[in-house]
């Protein structure tokens, strides 16, 4: 009889726990299809987000530390690997791959990543573990926007929920949301609709500024990277480091025209940016007189897929000897902030007239 009463008490306790869980999450409604799960907040409880897109005062946009090879600085080297379609810096991929193998083989059962958000620099740096198990190997750095007026909570948390689309406070929506504490989340820059072609462009152009209500905004490619790669339980540390954005530096953002309501990092089939490439202009073949002055960079311009001037990112390879008649080939290469590359071969004919 005592055992029966004990069983009844246990079942009652479990039922109460389930009821409380469902009650606390009753403002969520999920829709499941064969391809994705979408979540909508249907109650009046807001998440920490807003439609406000005013540029705050006393916020300086810190430039990243990445060096680029250019015609004016031919000895500069890009010390980081790249992630095409994202402005992120990536590094130490060899160590990351070894850790992936350790986890997939069952040798290690720890989470692959730790995410650290530096509010002061609006920079997210992701780490993997070293041989001792300490998360001090940086593998990815991403530009972000944290909360204005220190609206993003500080401390140590864990990723506990993920949503492909999420309704946010103020009647806007976010893609690839990953929650780490209460209604604090990583997610894309807001959209006016649950549609990838309704981006709030003004907010996107302010990535790198503290303008959110508390969530950590990222480009679509970066919020998707966290959504896809950082498992539940991944540690998230939010802090202020006024000395450095992180060991990889902070990537540059990319500006987009106000009339194109798409995130250029979004691989959605309808995105007009995915059909574009950087361009190099005026690198046409020319003939110059023997012994004349020649500057291979003069008159050459480059633009990224959004139309921004990236002339200073051009690299020029090859030589032209204006004292010796002949035809010389120069190769112009430019890589934009999204790590898309364009190249043009140009022939210089040095002619003895």
State what percent of residues in the chain have pLDDT above 70: 76
Mean pLDDT lowest among 27-41, 272-286, 319-333: 27-41
pLDDT of residue 324: 95
Using CA atoms of 36, 39, 40, 44 in order, give the dihedral in degrees to the nearest 10: -170
Assess whether 99 and 156 both reside in one domain. Answer: yes
Give tens-digit pLDDT for 298-347. 999 999 999 999 999 999 999 999 999 999 999 999 999 998 999 999 99
* DSSP sequence for 244-299: -S-TT---------TT--S-TT---TT-GGGG---EEES---EEEETT----TTTT
Let me know if residue 17 belongs to a domain: no
Q: What is the pTM of this model?
A: 0.75
* Domain membership of residue 119 as a residue range: 43-67+77-239
Report the C-alpha gap between 163 and 182 in whole angstroms.
14
Q: How confident is the model at residue 108 (pLDDT cuts 50, 70, 90)?
A: confident
**Above 50 in pLDDT, residue 52?**
no
Q: What is the DSSP letter of 243?
A: S
Domain boundary among 223, 239, 255: 239
- The average pLDDT across 141-168 equals 97
Flag whether pLDDT at 103 surpasses 80: yes
Residue finishing a domain among 192, 219, 239? 239
User: What band does 85 get if pLDDT is binned at 50, 70 and 90?
Assistant: confident
What's residue 353's pLDDT? 75
Does residue 259 sit within a domain? no
Which of 29-38, 134-143, 304-313, 316-325 comes out lowest in average pLDDT?
A: 29-38
- Shared-domain flag, residues 174 and 299: no
- pLDDT at residue 67 tops 90: no
Residue 233 has pLDDT above 80, yes or no: yes
The domain spanning residue 192 has which CATH number?
2.40.440.10
Same domain membership, residue 181 and residue 126: yes
Position 29 pLDDT exceeds 50: no
Closest Cα partner for 58 from 235, 171, 211, 277? 211
The band of 274, judged by pLDDT with boundaries at 50, 70 and 90, is confident
Same domain, 235 and 336: no
The count of domains in the chain is 2
Supply the CATH number for residue 310's domain: 2.60.40.10
How many CA atoms lie within 13 Å of 84's alpha carbon, on the beta-carbon side?
7
Q: Where is the domain boundary, 216, 239, 262?
A: 239
């Amino acid at each position: 009889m005592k055992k029966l009463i004990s069983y009844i008490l246990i079942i009652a306790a479990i039922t109460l726990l389930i009821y409380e869980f469902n009650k606390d999450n009753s403002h969520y409604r999920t829709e499941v299809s064969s391809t994705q799960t979408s979540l909508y907040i249907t109650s009046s409880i807001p998440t920490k987000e807003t439609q406000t897109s005013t540029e705050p005062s006393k916020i300086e946009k810190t430039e990243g530390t990445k060096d680029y090879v250019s015609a004016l600085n031919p000895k500069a080297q890009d010390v980081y690997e790249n992630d095409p379609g994202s402005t992120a810096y990536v590094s130490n991929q060899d160590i990351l791959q070894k850790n992936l193998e350790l986890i997939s083989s069952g040798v290690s059962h720890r989470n692959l990543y730790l995410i650290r958000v530096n509010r002061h620099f609006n920079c997210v740096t992701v780490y993997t573990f070293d041989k001792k198990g300490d998360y001090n190997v940086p593998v990815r750095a991403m530009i972000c926007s944290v909360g204005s007026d220190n609206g993003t909570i500080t401390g140590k948390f864990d990723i506990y929920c993920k949503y492909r689309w999420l309704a946010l406070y103020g009647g806007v929506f976010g893609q690839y949301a990953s929650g780490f504490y209460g209604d604090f989340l990583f997610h894309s820059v807001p959209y006016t609709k649950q549609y990838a072609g309704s981006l709030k462009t003004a907010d996107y152009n302010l990535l790198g500024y503290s303008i959110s209500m508390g969530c950590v905004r990222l480009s679509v490619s970066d919020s998707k990277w966290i959504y896809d790669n950082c498992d539940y339980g991944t540690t998230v540390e939010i802090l202020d480091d006024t000395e450095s954005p992180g060991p990889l530096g902070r990537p540059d953002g990319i500006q987009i025209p106000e009339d194109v309501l798409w995130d250029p990092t979004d691989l959605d089939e309808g995105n007009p940016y995915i059909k574009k490439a950087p361009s190099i202009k005026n690198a046409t073949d020319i003939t110059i007189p023997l012994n004349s002055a020649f500057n291979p960079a003069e008159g050459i311009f480059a633009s990224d897929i959004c139309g921004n001037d990236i002339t200073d990112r051009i690299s020029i390879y090859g030589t032209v000897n204006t004292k010796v008649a002949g035809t010389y080939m120069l190769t112009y290469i430019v890589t934009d902030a999204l790590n898309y590359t364009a190249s043009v071969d140009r022939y210089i004919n040095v002619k003895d007239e």
